[in-house]
Structure 1
């Protein structure tokens, strides 16, 4: 087939994918598999090879990321149900003082956002923002906006979150380098987002009376708009999983002291330090070195997370009175919520494999080469466009990686450059959170904002932070 025909098939495939997800409300996993089969057949992949192509795409993707996502979810679940997340946030508020409480909650969102999925983190921390707003008699949005944006930023940029893990695997980026470069980039993006949020929240926005009453203990809010209550609201998390949008209490034992701040922080950073140590060992130590071999094993993301799961289970569970059955139950309870995320990631791998096997990937690479745009720019713009079109950060990142992988392979980029490309995709995936994004609805419902106010605050802030994130990755490009 000609390149033009292949490109038309690819465009029709992406358009069909968006229609299935947005209009027909088909679950993203099913939509990706259906579109992958259709694109493969239309592009001339032999019927006898179709099943093998799908299995290869699913297997090569899930073989790397399924364990990482599952272990990361277990860590987050143990931290959540042990009360560690709330204790950590309250400790930060005490350390920062009342005047810097919004910054303390932003830092809490950043740190807790690493092991805890965005939706869960928002549910855990929002009651704390409610309590602080009630005590200070200040607008809730000033506390919640930078905190929520911080968690979404980590969700888009950093492993072990599913989009970042899938992108790193698909394009061949090193997850250790993604963390090494991404953590400071993310920290700067979040801090600048915090400063921008202070400007965005200078004026007061209409607030749902029910949420106002829940936060401040009064019956109505000035200039209130709307009347729906978030008490029993649910939203789709972008992967087909229903998530509760009302703040939920943790399953803690009131007879036990809360986990210490230092303990929670140490457990959160342990896998990060192990992964970074493995990356540095491979780059700085000689081949054949015993220390390099040890660090390589300990720094493998799966091993690092497995070690941290064991530490969390002992320190936050067994040492605090949980029996083995309860620990197993808590760890198992983390899996249903990420099962669909894992399948969506695998289906994205199938789509990428089909693009390569059909020759569409090379055709797209040729066209993108002719644009003259750097790979970094293409990665950001494509992820941003897909994010704005269909809402899910994870789906946008996985689809972008599948489309751009042939071009990136042809460009012969270094591992560090590929890591920056992964971060540029994350910046695009962070941007333009609006009315087709479950995260947008979760945030606006929990803060009592109407649609227009949500667009003026949450959408503007996430888009600005995405652009800042891309600017920082572009600034680092000449250095690697």
Structure 2
């Protein structure tokens, strides 16, 4: 480690501190603005010329938006089609319709797992709230559970949604990691799913069963009525809660009746299957095979998400009976909802490129090598600290990816495991400066302490379990 390398490391530490300060101070900078300020500041301190700074910022932002931005836009529109058509409610209702009391958390985790593949955490939770409220009301009326029925059902839902959101492509965070660390997409999906299953089991149904009797959570009746379509007076009458109107999926019956389960599942799985087929083709077929060329093309993230979106547009959009104008307005709203995330991703790309062009990434590599830190643990820790400090999992992922990119190999399972570890780190310690924390707290009428014991604890369990799974797999590959 030379003196210049130590200066670069000090610059990086100061940049991270400034980034946290700008986002959390009274100024409340938008993360995109904060990332741009820090990127340009780091470039100036590290000695890049003004021409190099402009090129570095433009290249970093443009490259990552080209690789991730369009995919994210198609994913947002696909999620909106699934929600508007009632397809997600249909899937959830079918999964839990025949579940017993003890198996309900497992079925809820399954429903959230399927729905969480193409949807952001917040969107997936809002979509599943009607089901959670309806089933919880039935459980309370029957007196079959001690403590909070809402926490009993919400815990596996939160665990599954946040696990997929942080650790499994095609969500934007893992896609950023795949692009920045040059990991194979199909391998990352497979590794992410392998890590996700035991993580969800421990953090969701098992933890939910333990914590539910210890929390007295009662959502606002007006909010329950809004999501379930029942008047507050009806909700108070527990004697009617076990009738047919309170069965799982009843809240969305008006919208889901015309959605066939096959169409709903196909719309969710088309992009994921295309991406997985690409990996299978690259492993099993010769380079000159026409089938391999076709599957490689259709398995590209942009093409796979575009194909999934087009399939859902006709299968769920136009076939649902909605006017084309309404479908277009809904899709426009979906794009607007992710505009902020796209800007943060662009800012993160600029920051990553500056770290590379200034040599800071190489300095971090030298320091980590000298300290003999495990790369997966280092990536997890950086993402955890930045996500907790800034209130943005995306900031944690893009910054950790940029810092560790020089240390990553040329591909393979280890790079995919690093993507998973960084994503797991970004999930942990989800607290009051995260939007998801407040969504859960207000939706279920929790106190600050209750939200901490449920939502924050669940996401931190997911984070730790995800890292442990990545480390375990790393020991055998």
Does the alignment pair 1:121 with 2:147?
no
Are 2:74 and 2:305, in contact at CA under 8 Å, matched by a contact in 1?
Answer: yes
For residues 147 and 369 of structure 1, the distance between their equivalents in structure 2, rounded to whole angstroms, comes to 39
Q: CA deviation at 1:373?
A: 1.3
Please show how residues 251-290 of structure 1 align to structure 2 within 5 Å.
254=254, 257-290=257-290
For residues 383 and 136 of structure 1, the distance between their equivalents in structure 2, rounded to whole angstroms, comes to 39
Are 2:151 and 2:217, in contact at CA under 8 Å, matched by a contact in 1?
Answer: no
Q: CA deviation at 1:328?
A: 2.6
Residue 425 of structure 2 is matched in structure 1 by 428
What are the superposed Cα offsets for residues 215-239 of structure 1, whole Å, 9 maximum, x if unpaired? 9957999xxxxxxxxxxxxxxxxxx
Q: CA deviation at 1:197?
A: 1.7
Does the alignment pair 1:396 with 2:396?
yes
Residue 246 of structure 2 is matched in structure 1 by none
Does the alignment pair 1:155 with 2:174?
no
For the residue of structure 2 that corresponds to 1:479, the secondary structure is coil
Q: CA deviation at 1:438?
A: 1.2
In the alignment of these two chains, the number of paired residues is 449
Q: Structure 1 residues 143, 49: closer, same or farther in 2, change over 3 A?
A: same
Q: Structure 1 residues 63, 220: closer, same or farther in 2, change over 3 A?
A: closer
Which protein is richer in helix relative to its size? Answer: 2
What are the superposed Cα offsets for residues 395-447 of structure 1, whole Å, 9 maximum, x if unpaired? 11111101111222xxx354221001000111111211112211111111111
Q: In structure 2, list runs of 5 or more residues that go unmatched.
A: 237-249
Does the alignment pair 1:200 with 2:211?
yes
What are the superposed Cα offsets for residues 86-139 of structure 1, whole Å, 9 maximum, x if unpaired? 111111111434542222222111111111111111111112111111122152
Residue 447 of structure 1 is matched in structure 2 by 444
For the residue of structure 1 that corresponds to 2:214, the secondary structure is coil
Please show how residues 6-85 of structure 1 align to structure 2 within 5 Å.
6-23=8-25, 24-85=27-88
Q: Structure 1 residues 264, 208: closer, same or farther in 2, change over 3 A?
A: closer
Q: CA deviation at 1:213?
A: 7.8
Are 2:46 and 2:358, in contact at CA under 8 Å, matched by a contact in 1?
Answer: yes
Are 1:348 and 1:399, in contact at CA under 8 Å, matched by a contact in 2?
Answer: yes
For the residue of structure 1 that corresponds to 2:338, the secondary structure is helix
For residues 72 and 220 of structure 2, the distance between their equivalents in structure 1, rounded to whole angstroms, comes to 38
For residues 386 and 38 of structure 1, the distance between their equivalents in structure 2, rounded to whole angstroms, comes to 18
Moved over 6 A (4+): 218-221
Q: In structure 1, list runs of 5 or more residues that go unmatched.
A: 222-248
Q: CA deviation at 1:455?
A: 1.4
What are the superposed Cα offsets for residues 203-222 of structure 1, whole Å, 9 maximum, x if unpaired? 2335466679869957999x
TM-score for the superposition, normalised by structure 2: 0.89
Please show how residues 136-147 of structure 1 align to structure 2 within 5 Å.
136-137=139-140, 139=148, 140-147=150-157
Please show how residues 434-473 of structure 1 align to structure 2 within 5 Å.
434-473=431-470
Residue 227 of structure 1 is matched in structure 2 by none
Q: CA deviation at 1:333?
A: 2.1
Q: Structure 1 residues 446, 209: closer, same or farther in 2, change over 3 A?
A: closer
Q: Structure 1 residues 290, 455: closer, same or farther in 2, change over 3 A?
A: same
Residue 332 of structure 1 is matched in structure 2 by 332
Are 1:213 and 1:219, in contact at CA under 8 Å, matched by a contact in 2?
Answer: no
TM-score for the superposition, normalised by structure 1: 0.88
For the residue of structure 1 that corresponds to 2:103, the secondary structure is helix
Q: CA deviation at 1:156?
A: 0.6
For residues 397 and 177 of structure 1, the distance between their equivalents in structure 2, rounded to whole angstroms, comes to 19
What are the superposed Cα offsets for residues 331-368 of structure 1, whole Å, 9 maximum, x if unpaired? 22210011111111111010011011111111111111
Q: CA deviation at 1:463?
A: 1.0
For the residue of structure 2 that corresponds to 1:474, the secondary structure is helix
